[in-house]
Each structure stands twice: as structure tokens, then as C-alpha cells.
Chains A and B, each alone.
Chain A
């Protein structure tokens, strides 16, 4: 079945450091891929998405490229801020199927220190 694997956290960085959070997936067909972010005490919010191979999603300085050949959707940011501290979830949807569900990874906690 479809699944998402994320790097385990926590990831601890200093402000202005470069961020990479790895995400790989297993899916049949052509899923859409997403990154969601959860700030402390809140629900999840969509950060960015990509719906087909080679698409790049971007938002708030974060980027991720849909790589079909490596089945990956790694999240990157060039210079993190303390306000980026949150849990990040990679997710996929079976766009062509009938499941109508999002499959989430286990989440990666990012802690940015001043």
C-alpha cells in the first residue's frame, strides 16, 4: 500500500542555518505530495504541495520538488528562523484512486535556536 517515510527528529538548528527534511514515498499511480506544518498547540496547515512529477512547491521560503525517479519530496529552506520551529509532516494522496485519503508520515520536529 501507499506509505510515506520521513527522517526522524528532532532536528535542531541555529537561526539562519540550511534546512533539509527528507521524505520518500511508496505509491501506485501518480500521487499528489504535500508538506503540512503544525505549530505548537495548533492543527496542521498546508505548507506547500506538488501534483505531478518535477513540480516544485514553494511557500514562506520553503521548497520541495516532486522527484518521481527517486520517489522523494524533500523539504528545504535556505535560512531558518526561530518562528519555523514546528512539526513538519510529509503526506501523499492517491489522486488517481478511489481512496480519497491523505497518508501522513510520522512527522519531524524542527527546533530552531536563536
Chain B
């Protein structure tokens, strides 16, 4: 069972470069999320989606864009990377539909360094 898969696992960027993180889930989940994890800050929600073709802003959306063209994939884009975006990024998914009472499934994380 693959669950939630994130690619790439590691990436080093220069300031101003762009990149896309891919999240794929094979559980037919409706809801998908992108979080960033920083020391002392816990997990902060960047963007999320409650279904194919939908996206919404989370707590810290600036500098990021997302797309959910297919139900199983949720892409996180950085158009012009900044050092402040150095972080570990986690994708998560859940069946959803009526609120979150069950388990959120997480990917293993993608470590991004912006020089």
C-alpha cells in the first residue's frame, strides 16, 4: 500500500527559482492538505483541497500556489523561492465529507532548502 507519496524527498533551490512538489494518494480521499513544519512552529497549513478542482488558502498561503486537477494528486508550487521557504513540507489526505473525525494520512515529507 503506497498511501501518500511525496516527490521529491529533498531539493535545494537558489533564491528566485521555481519548483513543484507532487503529492499522490491512492486511497480515493476527497480532502488533501499541504503543511510546512518549522522548528518551534509546529505544522502550519499552507493550502488545502476538499475535492477535485477545488483549492483553498490555509494559514500561510503567501508565496505558494496549488492545483488539484486530478483527485489523487495535489501539487504545491513555488514560483519564486525565498530563503524563508526553507522548510519540511508534508502532504496529508483524508476521506473527509462532513468534517474530520478520522485519521489524516501523511506523506514522509519533502525537505526543501532555499539558498
Q: Which residues of A contact B (CB under 8 A)?
A: 32, 36, 41-46, 49, 51, 89, 93-97, 100-102, 104-107
Contacts and interface: CB of A to CB of B under 8 A. Distances in A.
Nearest to B4: A43
14 contacts: A32-B99, A36-B104, A42-B108, A42-B109, A89-B43, A93-B99, A95-B100, A96-B99, A97-B99, A100-B99, A101-B33, A101-B58, A102-B45, A104-B44
Interface in B1-58: 4, 31, 33, 35, 40-45, 48, 50, 58
Contacts of A89: 42-43
A101 B48 CA distance: 8
Contacts of B44: 104
A46 B106 CA distance: 9
Contacts of A43: 4, 90, 92, 106-109
A94 B98 CA distance: 10
A102 to B, nearest CB: 6
Contacts of B104: 36, 44, 46, 102
A107 B42 contact: yes
B101 A106 contact: no
Nearest to A94: B99
B101 A104 contact: no
Given A43-B106, A101-B45, 17 more contacts: A41-B108, A42-B108, A43-B4, A44-B106, A95-B100, A95-B101, A96-B99, A97-B99, A100-B50, A100-B100, A101-B48, A101-B58, A101-B100, A102-B45, A104-B35, A106-B40, A107-B42
Contacts of A42: 108-109
A100 B100 CA distance: 6
Interface of B: 4, 31, 33, 35, 40-45, 48, 50, 58, 90, 92, 96, 99-104, 106-109
A57 B45 CA distance: 25
Given A43-B106, A44-B106, A46-B104, A104 B42 contact: yes
A59 B102 CA distance: 15
B11 to A, nearest CB: 17
A95 B96 CA distance: 10
